[in-house]
Amino acid sequence: MAIDISATSKLWSFPGGIHPPERKAPANMTAIQRFPLPPVLFIPLRQHAGEPGELCVAVGDYVLKGQPLTIPGVDNGLPVHASTSGTITAIQQHPLNHPSGLTGLTLCLEPDGKDAWYPRQPIANIDAISQREVLQHLQAMGIAGLGGAGFPTARKVAGARNIDVLIINGVECEPYIVSDDRLMREHAGEILAGSLLLQKLTSAKQLVIAIEDNKPEAAAAFAAAIHDSNATDTDTTELKGAAAVLKIVPTRYPSGGEKQLIQILTGKQVPVRGLPADIGILMQNVGTAFAVARAIHHGEPLLERVVTITGEAVHQPGTAWALLGTPIEYLLAQSGFRAQEKKQRVIMGGPMMGFTVTNLQIPVIKTTNCILAPSQKELAPAEAEMACIRCGACEIACPASLLPQQLQWLAKAKDYDGLKQHNLADCIECGACAYVCPSQIPLVQYYRQAKAEIREQAIEQQKAEIARQRFEARQARLEREKEERLAKHKKAAEARKAAQAAQAARQTESSTDGEQDPVKAALARVKAKKAQQDRGVEPAKSEQKDAVAAAVARAKAKKAERDANAESTPATTEKKDAVAAAVARAKAKKAERERLAKLEAENIGDSENKQNATNNKGNENS
């Protein structure tokens, strides 16, 4: 089903959303300023999503405005360009425009004030060259999405197939930020030109420009630009029929989010883990469209962007064309920044999605849309977090139909699987839930940490997988080398053996020549003897058998003799009888002797008794 959006077609709605105070005035009251050149520019090598390119300048080089400073690396990223002419004074670590406050490799460019241009190569006729060449030109011009993430535009366009609708996003729903608003008011014609170029590149059937209803001036400027383009571009009749449609959407935060705006305009939802291109939609920011127009029609790389400098701590709030690399301290100073209190905060981005900067020397990069210096009264600093009372306000506010409260519990419990199941990845970090939370819970902070942890785990998992493969490859290699070594040793041993055998053979061969006849004769003798022995084996066998038979016979004879000896036992019985007789005799003798001894003892006893009696008598007498 093709999407058809006309000026009168129905607007849909997305769930949730909030209405924070807009505070777009007074920054949107004044025209975009152009400050004098800053004393120094800090150009980080990495300004977009992806890996930084390779440096192609050195310290001390003089560079011209628009000269590329890096060449895209292996991941086909974007180059960075010199924002003005001047000298590269240093290439060093410098605080990055990042919430972490970490440093990164940065080029320091000292402007010479001439603002001399590097040769520009505009594309005169886009129809004369292929889409691929145009996209390569956009990449070389360093065009990135200026709406938020800074994704390379050429890659986004190249990846989009079968696009029905190209939406140019001029919603700019976040409070305070007026960069796109001012750009649309002042350069609607050029944005429209860029949008038409993008439409041609994507072959989109329709071009829709969406603006929130709190920017009537911008809408009027666009309406006029569309009218003009229809009136003047009589030659591009094929585009005329499908001229840009201007849609005014109601003010509600975050209607400028890609998925939310698609839902408002088409009533369709971008699938989970999908891209808008999956449902035939491509979205670009108005700033990107403007940059595309400048890059194609004028050959200008992306060197500057509109930055809103606002907040009560700034005396002259407004917008300015800031060269990429301008330190934000310079922009604040130019706008009359006076720190209101001791703990003055400076926020990069808006109050909903921005982050507090840690260093004022951080540069403006491609995605910097606002520098906000609020007073304490204006934007109260975060209060102490209180317990969740399960009021459910966050769930009502969530534009992605998630369960912020549940996500918060899971994030606190570090249940990353649970967070994945609850589609944490679909959170756009708009901050609506934290804004409505009565307990001042920094919900988005929890989600960001959890997302970072999930991402970290995925990276670690990937690294572990690579390490495992390398380990296994190494083990396999070591095993193979060991086997090869063994095979080599074996081969060498065999070769040695073969060599020895060959030598021996050579020796025998040489002996046949006659010199060593005795040896040969001896060998022959030995051989002959052996042969004889071999021949003698047959008769010897029968001889041996006879010998065995004889031995057996001898043994039998011996046994028989032994048996014969055994028959001479009567002699032994006689002997035994004799012994027995002798024993009997001895016994008889003993018995006789005992009898005699008894008798004798009896006789002696009688006489003794007599003697004893007479002795007793004699004693009594004495």
Partner 1 sequence: MSWFIGIMALATIALVAGLILGFAAIRFRVESDPIVEQIDNLLPQTQCGQCGYPGCRPYAEAIANGDELNKCPPGGQATIDQLADLLGREAKPLDEAHGEEAQKTVAVIREDECIGCTKCIQACPVDAILGAAKQMHTVIADECTGCDLCVEPCPVDCIDMVPVATKPERWKWQLDQIPVNVIDASKAASAESASKAS
Work out how close the CB of 347 gets to partner 1 at its nearest, in angstroms, rounded to a whole number.
11
* Near partner 1 by CB under 8 A: residue from 87, 359, 376, 439: 359
Collapsing DSSP to helix, strand or coil, 107 comes out as strand
* CA dist., res. 308 & res. 459, Å (int): 36
Q: Is 39 in the site for partner 1 (CB under 8 A)?
A: yes
The one segment of 35-43, 239-247, 397-405, 576-584 that binds partner 1 by CB under 8 A:
35-43
Find the helix or strand (DSSP H, E) in which 426 lies. Answer: none
Residue closest to 325 by CA, chosen among 46, 70, 27, 30: 46
Burial 23-39 (b: 16+ CB within 10 A, else e): bbeebbeeebbebebbe
Collapsing DSSP to helix, strand or coil, 372 comes out as strand
Q: Is 123 in the site for partner 1 (CB under 8 A)?
A: no
Q: Is 98 in the site for partner 1 (CB under 8 A)?
A: yes
Q: Phi, psi at residue 209, to the nearest 5°?
A: -110, 120
Q: Is 418 in the site for partner 1 (CB under 8 A)?
A: no
Judge contact between 361 and 370, C-beta under 8 A: no
* Near partner 1 by CB under 8 A: residue from 18, 27, 82, 96: 96
**Residue numbering of the annotated binding site:** 388, 391, 394, 398, 427, 430, 433, 437
Burial 83-117 (b: 16+ CB within 10 A, else e): bbbbebeebeebbbbbeeeeeeebbbbbbeeeeee
Work out how close the CB of 203 gets to partner 1 at its nearest, in angstroms, rounded to a whole number.
33
Work out how close the CB of 218 gets to partner 1 at its nearest, in angstroms, rounded to a whole number.
31
Q: Is 473 in the site for partner 1 (CB under 8 A)?
A: yes
* CA dist., res. 80 & res. 141, Å (int): 8
Rounded alpha-carbon distances, angstroms, from residue 349 to 35, 206, 311, 432, 600: 20, 31, 12, 15, 152
* Residue closer to partner 1, measured from CB, 76 or 401: 76
**Residue numbering of the annotated binding site for [4Fe-4S] cluster:** 388, 391, 394, 398, 427, 430, 433, 437
* Near partner 1 by CB under 8 A: residue from 227, 338, 480, 491: 338
Work out how close the CB of 358 gets to partner 1 at its nearest, in angstroms, rounded to a whole number.
5
Judge contact between 374 and 345, C-beta under 8 A: yes
Q: Is 456 in the site for partner 1 (CB under 8 A)?
A: yes
Q: Is 330 in the site for partner 1 (CB under 8 A)?
A: yes
* Near partner 1 by CB under 8 A: residue from 455, 488, 497, 589: 455
Find the helix or strand (DSSP H, E) in which 209 lies. Answer: strand 206-212
Q: Is 449 in the site for partner 1 (CB under 8 A)?
A: yes
Q: Is 73 in the site for partner 1 (CB under 8 A)?
A: no
Q: Is 200 in the site for partner 1 (CB under 8 A)?
A: no
* DSSP output for 382-396: PPPP-------HHHH
Find the helix or strand (DSSP H, E) in which 70 lies. Answer: strand 70-71
* CA dist., res. 29 & res. 129, Å (int): 42
* Residue closer to partner 1, measured from CB, 62 or 471: 471
Q: Is 377 in the site for partner 1 (CB under 8 A)?
A: no
* Residue closer to partner 1, measured from CB, 42 or 330: 330
* Residue closer to partner 1, measured from CB, 289 or 444: 444
Residue 612 makes CB contacts below 8 A (sequence gap 6+) with none
Q: Is 445 in the site for partner 1 (CB under 8 A)?
A: yes
Work out how close the CB of 339 gets to partner 1 at its nearest, in angstroms, rounded to a whole number.
3
Q: Provide the binding-site residues for partner 1, judged by CB under 8 A.
A: 36, 38-39, 96, 98-102, 104, 329-330, 332-334, 336-339, 342-346, 358-360, 445, 448-449, 452-453, 455-456, 459-460, 463-468, 470-475
